[in-house]
Amino acid sequence: MKQENSNKETEYTGTIVKGIGGFYYVEASGDVYECKAKGLFRKEGITPMVGDRVCIRPGEHQDFVLSRVLPRRNAFVRPPVANVDVVLAVSAAADPKPNFLLLDKLILMAEKKDAQVILVFNKADLAREDFACQVRQRYRATGYPLFFVSALKRDTLQGLKEMLKGKKIMLTGPSGVGKSSLANALGGFSMETGAISEKTLRGKHTTRHVELLGAEGLFIFDTPGFTSFSLLDMEPAELKEYYPDFTPWARDCRFGGCAHILEPDCGVKEGVRQGAISSLRYEAYVKLYQELQERKKQKRY
């Protein structure tokens, strides 16, 4: 997008798709420009990130200068990416067995950063008969879109792909669930798949750069996603804010700051009793709440 600014210089708006060795690669109207960042950024405490919307302008020597970082929707530290629209929280129906506590943590990270959450259960071809039913039960009241797919069968991916059009996407989830396979099937990329390559990747390429890949109308951050190690840095009392399935019931709690744990007359616990909120999801909430409390105590001493 060309814009004439006050200096009558041509300015472009684009997206950082890669950053290596002090250079940023900015995609604007289908072209990629190699840019140096404006010297002032460091002084201003601004670090451009992959995913950032930025302005660039021609420099003095037929080069390009990254002159401005536009306001971000969000920014993650590990991996360092900005403007994640959608977090695909990926699990496998089997092999590896789903870990719902970890899944809830991934959801919470996404919620905290105000990214849209989409739940994906891959390897549907390996699922037990009642699997989808149980999962639906657990997450129905959250309102999160929920997909049962197989990266190996493209026809199962159509609905998901529709929902991802035009979005910047981060895939998260444990190793082996099929994140790379999904990215490849959704966008025709060629990310390495398989347990062995995953391990060697982690061993050898710990400084592997982050890249935003675009194809077939969607944009995927090629990173390992956030892991359980960087999870749940929040106050125990903050946790409940990120449970959309609790929200309508929390209005009936007697106490304003109700944590929905031990308090009497708790609307959320009533919701669980009535079966509107999944008891499994609620029990996982209690576990996470206690985990956060425990950690807070340890920090204090």
Ligand X SMILES: Nc1nc2c(ncn2[C@@H]2O[C@H](COP(=O)(O)OP(=O)(O)O)[C@@H](O)[C@H]2O)c(=O)[nH]1
Residue ranges that bind Mg ion, judged by CB under 5 A:
179-180
Cα–Cα distance between 271 and 280 in angstroms, integer?
Answer: 13
Rule CB under 6 A: say whether 150 interacts with ligand X: yes
Q: Which of 78, 27, 86, 11 is nearest to 214 (CA)?
A: 27
Q: Kindly state the smallest distance separating residue 41's Cβ from Mg ion, in Å.
A: 32
Q: 260 is written with which tokens?
A: 């929905």
Q: Contact between 96 and ligand X (CB under 6 A)?
A: no
> What's the residue count for the chain?
301
Q: Which range binds ligand X by CB under 6 A, 31-39, 123-131, 244-252, 269-277?
A: 123-131
For Zn ion (CB under 5 A), the number of binding residues is: 5
Contacts with 153 (C-beta within 8 Å, 6 or more apart), sequence order: 125
Bridge partners of 108, per DSSP, are none
Please report whether residue 277 would count as binding Zn ion according to CB under 5 A.
Answer: no
Residue 27, both tokens: 């995609």
Binders of ligand X in range 191-230 (CB under 6 A)? 193-194, 198
CB of 131 to ligand X, least distance (A): 13
Chain positions 250 to 269 lying near Zn ion, rule: CB under 5 A, are 253, 258, 260, 266, 268
Name the residue nearer to ligand X (CB basis): 54 or 183.
183
Identify whether the C-beta of residue 64 lies closer than 8 Å to the C-beta of residue 28: no
Which does residue 150 bind out of Mg ion, ligand X, Zn ion, none, counting CB within 5 to 8 angstroms by kind? ligand X
Report residue 47 as tokens: 């670090």
Q: Is 106 in the site for ligand X (CB under 6 A)?
A: no
Query: CB-wise, 26 or 266, nearer to Zn ion?
Result: 266
Cα dist. 284→3, 62, 103, 239, 278 in Å?
51, 57, 10, 12, 10
Q: Which residues bind ligand X (CB under 6 A)?
A: 122-123, 125-126, 150-152, 175-181, 193-194, 198
